[in-house]
Structure 1
Amino acid sequence: MSTPNIEKTLTTKETFIFKDMVGPYFNPNWHFHPDYQISLIAEGKGTRFVGDHVQSFEKGDLVVTGPNLPHLWRSDDAYFDKNSKLSTRGLVIYFDHDLFSESLLGKEEFYNINKFVENSVRGMEFYGETRNKINRLIHKINNELGFRRIIKLLEIIDILANSEEYHLLSSPGYTNVFKGDDADKMRIVYDYVMTNFKTKISLEEISEMLNMTTTSFCRYFKPRANKTFTRFVNEIRIGHSRKLLLEDNLNISQISYECGFNALSNFNRQFKAIVQMSPHEYRKLFLNIKTSIS
Structure 2
Amino acid sequence: MRTANIEKTLTPKETFIYKDITGPYFNPKWHFHPEFQISFIVKGYGTRFIGDHVQNFNEGDLVLTGPNLPHLWRSDEAFFEKDSELTTRGLVIYFDHELLNESLLSKEEFYKINKLVENSYRGMEFYGETQKKVNKSLLKIANETGFKRIIKLFKIINLLANSEEYHLLSSPGYTNLFKGDDAEKMHLVYEYVMTHFKSQISLEEISELLNMTTTSFCRYFKPRANKTFTRFVNDIRIGHARKLLLEDNFNVSQICYECGFNTLSNFNRQFKAITNMSPIEYRKLFLDIKTSIS
Q: Shorter-chain TM-score: what band?
A: over 0.9
8 Å CA contact 1:49–1:71 kept in 2: the answer is: yes
Aligned residue number for residue 233 of structure 1: 233
Deviation at 1:191, TM superposition (A): 1.0
- Classify 1:115/1:3 alpha carbon distance in 2 versus 1 (closer, same or farther; 3 Å): closer
- Single out whichever of 5-14 and 75-84 deviates more from structure 2: 5-14
Structure 1 segments unaligned to the other structure (5+ residues): none
- The one-character-per-residue Cα deviations of 1:77-112 (angstroms, maximum 9, x if unpaired) are 111112111111110000110112212211111110
Aligned residue number for residue 158 of structure 1: 158
For the pair 1:268 / 2:271, whether they are aligned, the reply is: no
* Identity across the alignment (%): 78
Moved over 4 A (4+): 1-4
Q: Which amino acid aligns with 2:210?
A: L
For the pair 1:72 / 2:67, whether they are aligned, the reply is: no
Two-structure CA RMSD over aligned residues (Å):
1.2
8 Å CA contact 1:49–1:55 kept in 2: the answer is: yes
In the TM superposition, 1:31-110 aligns within 5 A as: 31-110=31-110
Q: Distance in 1 between matches of 2:58 and 2:109?
A: 35
Q: Distance in 2 between matches of 1:244 and 1:209?
A: 29
Output the TM-score relative to the length of structure 1.
0.98
Q: Distance in 1 between matches of 2:20 and 2:3?
A: 23
Aligned to 1:49, what secondary structure does the other structure show?
Answer: strand
Q: Distance in 1 between matches of 2:5 and 2:84?
A: 28
Aligned residue number for residue 20 of structure 2: 20
Q: Distance in 2 between matches of 1:290 and 1:278?
A: 18
Aligned residue number for residue 255 of structure 1: 255
Aligned to 1:167, what secondary structure does the other structure show?
Answer: strand
Aligned residue number for residue 289 of structure 2: 289
Deviation at 1:7, TM superposition (A): 2.1
For the pair 1:205 / 2:205, whether they are aligned, the reply is: yes
Q: Which amino acid aligns with 2:196?
A: N
Q: Which amino acid aligns with 1:24?
A: P
8 Å CA contact 2:3–2:180 kept in 1: the answer is: no
Q: Distance in 1 between matches of 2:12 and 2:5?
A: 20
Q: Which amino acid aligns with 1:286?
A: F
Q: Distance in 2 between matches of 1:240 and 1:200?
A: 15
Aligned residue number for residue 171 of structure 1: 171
8 Å CA contact 2:198–2:260 kept in 1: the answer is: yes
Output the TM-score relative to the length of structure 2.
0.98
Deviation at 1:2, TM superposition (A): 5.9
8 Å CA contact 2:4–2:178 kept in 1: the answer is: no
Deviation at 1:5, TM superposition (A): 3.3
Q: Distance in 2 between matches of 1:240 and 1:28?
A: 17
Q: Which amino acid aligns with 2:158?
A: D
- Single out whichever of 33-42 and 4-13 deviates more from structure 2: 4-13
Deviation at 1:8, TM superposition (A): 2.0
Q: Which amino acid aligns with 1:59?
A: E
Aligned to 2:99, what secondary structure does the other structure show?
Answer: coil
Deviation at 1:3, TM superposition (A): 7.6
8 Å CA contact 1:65–1:122 kept in 2: the answer is: yes
Q: Which amino acid aligns with 1:240?
A: H
8 Å CA contact 1:2–1:184 kept in 2: the answer is: no
8 Å CA contact 1:5–1:181 kept in 2: the answer is: no
